[in-house]
Amino acid sequence: KSQQPYQIYLEPGELARAAARRWVELARESIRARNSFHVALAGGSTPKPVYQLLQQEELEWDKIHLYWGDERDVPADHPESNYLMVKEALIDHVPIPNDNVHPIRVEADIEKSVEEYRRVLERVHRSPDGFPCFDLVMLGMGDDGHIASLFPDSSALTVANTPAVSVYVEKLNSWRVTLTYPVLNAARNLMLLVSGESKAPVVAQVLGGDGDERYPVQKLAPQGRVEWYLDQAAASQLPEA
């Protein structure tokens, strides 16, 4: 049984408000302690309302650096782009310097994109084993238990010698660039945002199951604090607390 703490919120709106409050708390804590806040953002749909809520927050945006946990193999102005989603939900509405925004720039040669992102990641504090140590990594989770672009049966699941890789995702028939487990595990804080009925079986296995490791999310071995933000639908198959 996993010891990872989790909070269940009635519905997605409440989950987003709680996650936004925590994001602000962690940003202020990190700026107080290290005069900066380096955060790897999640793509997909669940985190979008969190980013929209952050628009109203009084924060020292000049000390906040945004990175991405993964990116699709599309240009920055493509509807599928995780960067574009955050740009529209947050970046365009807050006074964050351009130099503080570090997207994964996916180009025709995806290996070049990975090389460039590895260099960008060198701006982040190092963990004891030499990996980027983000103050916060936000993750969504797919209904197959993938996190970032670490999908079941993918070659990226065993990568432990580099902070970012390109990976071909069979089921999506598309390439992705993703952070690897050593970076997710090194984060001072990890927030998982999971909403919707389709995620309930995986949530039950991870947080209340028999410990069998069936999903990529279960390969996480976080060195920092982990918090799960679930809505009631995603938590609906958890054994009664």
**Closest distance to ligand 6PG from the beta carbon of 212 (Å):** 22
Min separation Cβ 43 and ligand 6PG, Å: 3
Q: Which residue is nearest to ligand 6PG (CB)?
A: 140
Query: Structure tokens of 46?
Result: 């669940």
Nearer to ligand 6PG, 34 or 171 (CB): 171
Tell me which of 64, 70, 145, 226 binds ligand 6PG, using CB under 6 A: 70
Residue 189 touching ligand 6PG (CB under 6 A): no
- Could you say which of 44, 201, 208, 224 contacts ligand 6PG (CB under 6 A)? 44
Handedness of CA 4, 128, 183, 31 (dihedral sign): positive
Of residues 104 through 143, those in contact with ligand 6PG by CB under 6 A are: 140-142
Number of residues that bind ligand 6PG (CB under 6 A): 14
Q: Would you call 68 helix, strand, or coil by DSSP?
A: strand
Determine phi and psi for 115, rounding to 5 degrees: -55, -45
Least CB distance to ligand 6PG at residue 130 (A): 24
Q: How far is the CB of 53 from ligand 6PG (least distance, A)?
A: 16
Question: How long a stretch of residues is the chain?
Answer: 241
Among 19, 64, 148, 230, binds ligand 6PG (CB under 6 A): 148
Give the count of beta carbons closer than 10 Å to the beta carbon of residue 22.
18
Least Å from the CB of residue 199 to ligand 6PG: 7
- Spatial neighbors of 215 by CB under 8 A, at least 6 apart, are 144, 145, 146, 152, 202, 205, 206
Taking the C-alpha atoms of residue 186 and residue 50, their distance in angstroms, rounded to an integer, is: 23
* DSSP codes of every residue in 139-182: EE--TT--BTTB-TT-GGGG--SSSEEEEEEGGGTEEEEEE-HH
- Residue 87 token pair: 């740009």
Q: Which residues bind ligand 6PG (CB under 6 A)?
A: 42-46, 69-70, 82, 140-142, 146-148
